[in-house]
Amino acid sequence: MKFGKNTEFDRDFYQKNLMGPSAVRLIEEFAGRLPLIHDMRVLDLGCGTGLTSIFLVKEFGVQVFAVDLWIAAAENYERIRQFDLEDKIIPIHANAHDLPFSEGYFNAIISIDAYYYFGTGEDFLDRRMAPLLAKDGFIAVAMPGLQKEFGENVPEAIKPFWTDEVCETFHDKNWWKSLWEKSTKTTVKDCFSLRCHKTAWEDWLECDNPYAKGDVKMMEAEQGKYFDTLALIAGLKEKSIEVRK
């Protein structure tokens, strides 16, 4: 399966390594809006199995620090080696709340289908992300969310799937934009829905993965009415980054 201009994944490899709605579909669309330049230092935060890291290197020639909590760095290194990218991708096992990097280290922090697991707190952006950005750096996140906040009115069809974890982490664009606008260190440059929402979910639901099988029922109940895939981009205050429209 071909993504972007240079990235090719064997179908079995792709399906085996997806961990949710296709991160590759999301990054393929989202990256087109980002000012990515050859040799930039990029943090791929919550990279999972590293498919997005591979895509970023193959398409943009950036250097990636592929950080994840649930997937071992050694396991990601084996995958990275299959693509001969060990000089360009550095796999690291770390928690987003305690990252082992120097201030101003990254030109970009990118997080696909992961930020909602660790970034819903009010001070996360200022305390954990902004300090890591170089002066013209940016943070770009894409993740599942809602078309509109439910508040007290969770639709009947969704109730069986509305666990405490989903309730705390699934929000709409306005919720996330308001959260990021509380930041004293960054400015929101853009906030929008990704067009590949449906395709990204279809790819995931086709996978022979118990989590994907569980999500099939949820997406049948949802019928395209409530969920969305959101994207946000922010830069450090008073620094200009160019976001493509």
Ligand X SMILES: C[S@@+](CC[C@H](N)C(=O)[O-])C[C@H]1O[C@@H](n2cnc3c(N)ncnc32)[C@H](O)[C@@H]1O
Chain positions contacting ligand X, by CB under 6 A: 19-20, 23, 46-48, 51-52, 68-71, 95-97, 112-114, 117-118
Q: Least distance (Å) from ligand X to the CB of residue 244?
A: 22
4 close to 58: Cβ distance less than 8 angstroms = yes
User: Among residues 85 and 136, whose Cβ is nearest to ligand X?
Assistant: 85
Q: Least distance (Å) from ligand X to the CB of residue 242?
A: 25
Q: Least distance (Å) from ligand X to the CB of residue 94?
A: 7
Distance, in Å, from the CA atom of 50 to the CA atom of 24, rounded to the nearest integer, reads 10
User: Among residues 135 and 167, whose Cβ is nearest to ligand X?
Assistant: 167
User: Among residues 79 and 155, whose Cβ is nearest to ligand X?
Assistant: 79
User: Among residues 83 and 239, whose Cβ is nearest to ligand X?
Assistant: 83
Using alpha carbons, select from 51, 76, 48, 55 the residue that is nearest to residue 5.
55
Q: Least distance (Å) from ligand X to the CB of residue 96?
A: 3
Which residue number is nearest to ligand X in terms of Cβ?
48
